[in-house]
Amino acid sequence: MERISFGRLFSNSQMNIARNFSRVFQAQNQLATGRRINRPSDDIVGTRRLLTLNGEREGIDRYLSNVGSARSAVQVGSAQLQELSGTLASVRELAVQGANGTLSASDRDSIANEIDALLQTAVSNLNVGFEGRFLFSGTKTGDLPFELVTGANGLQRLQYNGNGDLQEVDVAPDLRLPINMPGSDLLVSGTRGATVFNGSTGAAAGANGQDTGTGRDVLQVTHTQTTYGGTSGLTASVSSAANDTILGSNHAITVTTDAAGNGTISLNGGPGVAFTSADTDLAVAGPNGEVIHVDTSAMAPNLAPGTVVPVQSDGTLSTDGGLTAVSINFGSSAQQVVNSETGAVLHIDATGISSAGAEDVTYPGTSNMLSSIIAIRDILRDPSRQPADINTQINVALEDLDRGMDSLGRSLAVLGSRAGQLESIEGRLGDMGVTIDTLSGEIRDADIAKVVSDLSRFETLYQASLVLAARVNSISLLNYL
């Protein structure tokens, strides 16, 4: 039989007390915290599973935050486009009203001012920001998307500073969704038509039709110098360069002089203008308002009635308000003029140019919804336009506006679809989060009823181990003497 020493009894008693006390302490700790696992040593396998589930939960929380931010951005964008849709409808109503031929110039100007205010509102709608970034600038979120810029040619135009890229966010594992609508997608235009010139200079659309301008332009046809051929002695005056309006060589100038060199001069069959040798800056007007300024101080005497004086008048073309200009090539049917501010290219048939002035150039089918608002406003503000022309031009602009409104409706549908998709993703992520929380709770949390039962049992065992240890400790050699 194995011999059991007193030392071994004492050691076993102490071990039982420590073990039962540890069980009581662990049960009390679980009851106090409500958790079965309070430190890794409580359950190494369970702890490993908890760490994995916690990582997945953090990922879901990050995606939920992204989805919430994305939904808010989409909602803000949709609200602004809804407001913009109402603004465009108001512009259309005013444009139809302004096309009424019975309105006075003052009435049309008042309507134009109302439209201008709506234009400012529309630009403000598209320049909306959210959480420190612009929604309609593509990925250039720090740049103001839209600006109204007045060019050197005096025309106001819409300038887009963003790009055509989408702002995307991670909303689920391996899933990125766009949250914005690039401004370039809103500025849709139709099919480019033949460029239209509205003026009296004789300039016409170029033969190749490769223009790149959009909306409207102003072509400035400027006189630079007039030279006279033959032996009549007629020369250009000092004010000719700045004030003559004829261009090219297809102009008829006839003169008659007496023995003293005095006589009359006529431009393009217009009324004769008397002159003397003392006239150094004489204005001569033609039947259509064209004007030349001549110096008759050295006229040859005794020129027969109707003597024709050859003339060549040169000039320049510009679409950027004179920042850059090209000399007119009167033999070209497709002369190119480039706007240095926008890079837009205009091709001109210069063979029929006969006078200086400004041409209102329209690029049909190229205006977007905001450019069409600018066009309507400017048409109504122009006092030189006739009612029939106003009606025609506004109807053209309304076609562009209607096309923009249709595009805006499609954009709203896209944003609505994204909002629905984000809502669905948010629901799925929420369900996943609940599932993970449930699994984590099953692994981590204590069964309170079981812990209470265990605590009672462990306390009883602990008390028993103390009693047993006390009895063992009371045994001595004297008990056997």
Query: Element (H or E) spanning 317, and its range?
Result: strand 311-318
> How many other C-beta atoms are found inside a 10 Å radius of the C-beta of residue 94?
20
Q: What domain range includes position 63?
A: 54-189+386-430
254 and 181, same structural domain? no
227 and 127, same structural domain? no
Give how far Cα 129 sits from Cα of 80, 124, 132, 134, 239, Å: 10, 10, 6, 4, 55
Of 477 and 232, more confident: 232
236 and 177, same structural domain? no
Residue 63 in tokens: 């995606």
Q: What is the CATH number of the domain that holds 399?
A: 1.20.1330.10
> How many other C-beta atoms are found inside a 10 Å radius of the C-beta of residue 292?
27
Residue with tokens 């090209």: 326
SS3 sequence, 419-433? HHHHHHHHHHHHHHH
Q: What is the pLDDT of residues 75-118, one digit of tens each?
A: 999 999 999 999 999 999 999 999 988 889 899 999 999 999 99
CA 453 from chain centre, in angstroms, equals 69
Residue 12 lies in a domain: no
Radius of gyration of the CA atoms of the chain, in A: 45
Residue 335 in tokens: 């002369």
323 and 284, same structural domain? yes
Least confident interval from 1-5, 103-107, 186-190 = 1-5
The confidence score (pLDDT) of residue 376 equals 93
262 and 139, same structural domain? no
Q: What is the mean pLDDT of residues 258-276?
A: 95
Under 8 Å between Cβ of 266 and 331: no
Residue with tokens 């462990």: 458
Of 433 and 448, more confident: 433
The pTM for the full model equals 0.74
181 and 272, same structural domain? no
Asked whether the predicted pLDDT for residue 28 surpasses 90, the reply is no
350 and 206, same structural domain? yes
Please name the residue ranges forming H helices in 382-475.
Answer: 387-444, 448-474
Q: What is the secondary structure of 98-117 as a DSSP string? A: HT-TT--HHHHHHHHHHHHH
Share of the chain above pLDDT 90, in %: 49
Last residue of one domain, picked from the residues 395, 414, 430: 430
% helix, strand, coil for the chain, step of 5: 45, 20, 35
Under 8 Å between Cβ of 99 and 379: no
Under 8 Å between Cβ of 117 and 130: no
Least confident interval from 118-132, 239-253, 425-439 = 425-439
Q: Cβ contacts of residue 59 below 8 Å, gap of 6+?
A: 173
Least confident interval from 247-261, 398-412, 457-471 = 457-471
329 and 214, same structural domain? yes
136 and 256, same structural domain? no
Residue 27 lies in a domain: no
Report the number of distinct structural domains present in the chain: 2
303 and 416, same structural domain? no
Average pLDDT score over the chain = 87
The three-state secondary structure class of 295 is strand
How far is 191 from 189, CA to CA, in rounded Å?
7
Residue with tokens 């009324």: 271
User: How would residue 274 be classed by pLDDT, with cut points 50, 70 and 90?
Assistant: very high
How far is 454 from 458, CA to CA, in rounded Å?
6
